[in-house]
Structure 1
Amino acid sequence: MGRAYHLDGEYSATFFFDHFTHATVLRAMDGFGMIHDLDMLRLAETAFDRAIRGGRSVDDSATKAVVEALREAGAAEPAGIPRHKLATGDGWLITPPEITAALDAYQRAPYDDRAATSARIDDWDGWIGFLRLAGDFAGIRSH
């Protein structure tokens, strides 16, 4: 079992990791400061407020709207990609601002550390390229 990331929007591209490579990539991203933690309760409250505002009653469509709003919720000024969006394949939208923040953190890392990671993880350069592409479009979804 692995993880797939799909380019969101009008273009179609997918990046797939096997289970072990995905775990290795996440550890590397964490080490570079590309991943951060969000307060999920606060995001859930915000998503619920967005979905219910406007006087809609709570029914199946409102519940679906809350779930979708939560999948797309993120920090106003992200410091990187939220950990939960990479750790689970629940259709999270990883937004261009989150991707840009993660890539900025990566670029601030020492060149030797970036080169060592590239040499150690076969899919690393492809993944960084995929993130750059996704940051220029509508982001990516984790599946």
Structure 2
Amino acid sequence: MGWELTFERPDGAGDPAYRFDSAGMRPVRRTMERLGMLSYDEPPPWPSPTEHGLTPADFAAALDGRTSERMRAFRSACRVVTDWAAERPTGIPAYKFGGTNDGWLVTPAEIRSALATLAAHPAWARTVVLRGQPSWTEWIDYLERATAHGGFRVE
């Protein structure tokens, strides 16, 4: 299993993607937790297909490229969940980072909050925690660039 992170608005961004396999995601996520860069907000509940009147036939039709109005409404309701962000984020929500590949939007405000938390640590503490993290500099560069491009999606 892996994760593909892509800028929400990739215009003029250089490489808009960042990739993790499960072995690469774990240490980065653990380091972000240790540094307080993740938050533990919960997303709104997922919409129910039955509440939207969907049947297995609707899902089968969507696989064939025939999307009903009910399916479009359901997908729209799902997008509200994946795009949700706290009014005042305190980091990147842990559920958006390294959990599922549901297309979570990590917003610029969430990224800025995480980066501010990182910057608040003394340099010696960052050095100790980041020892053995060879890709950390490029990861932070990706986060900084993502703030100017609408954040990124986790898929």
With the shorter chain as reference, the TM-score category is 0.7 to 0.9
Which of these two proteins has the greater Rg computed from alpha carbons?
A: 2
What amino acid is the match of 2:87? A
Match in the other structure for 1:5: 5
What amino acid is the match of 1:34? M
How many Å apart are 1:90 and its aligned residue?
1.4
What amino acid is the match of 1:119? R
Instruction: Give the conservation status (yes or no) of the 8 Å contact 2:10–2:16.
Output: no
Which structure 2 segments of 5+ residues have no match? Answer: 53-68
Which structure 1 segments of 5+ residues have no match? Answer: 53-57
CA distance in 2, matches of 1:115, 1:37: 25
CA distance in 2, matches of 1:59, 1:139: 29
CA distance in 2, matches of 1:68, 1:130: 24
CA distance in 2, matches of 1:119, 1:86: 21
CA distance in 2, matches of 1:140, 1:28: 19
What amino acid is the match of 2:141? G
Instruction: Give the conservation status (yes or no) of the 8 Å contact 1:118–1:125.
Output: no
How many Å apart are 1:118 and its aligned residue?
3.7
How many Å apart are 1:16 and its aligned residue?
1.2
Match in the other structure for 1:55: none
Instruction: Give the conservation status (yes or no) of the 8 Å contact 1:78–1:97.
Output: yes
- Percent identity over the alignment is 27
Match in the other structure for 1:130: 142
What amino acid is the match of 2:45? A
Match in the other structure for 1:72: 83
TM-score normalized by the length of structure 1: 0.82
Instruction: Give the conservation status (yes or no) of the 8 Å contact 1:117–1:124.
Output: no
CA distance in 1, matches of 2:128, 2:79: 38
- Corresponding pairs, count: 132
Tell me whether 1:33 sits opposite 2:44 in the alignment.
Answer: no
CA distance in 1, matches of 2:76, 2:94: 22
How many Å apart are 1:32 and its aligned residue?
0.8
Instruction: Give the conservation status (yes or no) of the 8 Å contact 2:101–2:154.
Output: yes
Q: RMSD of the TM alignment (CA)?
A: 2.2
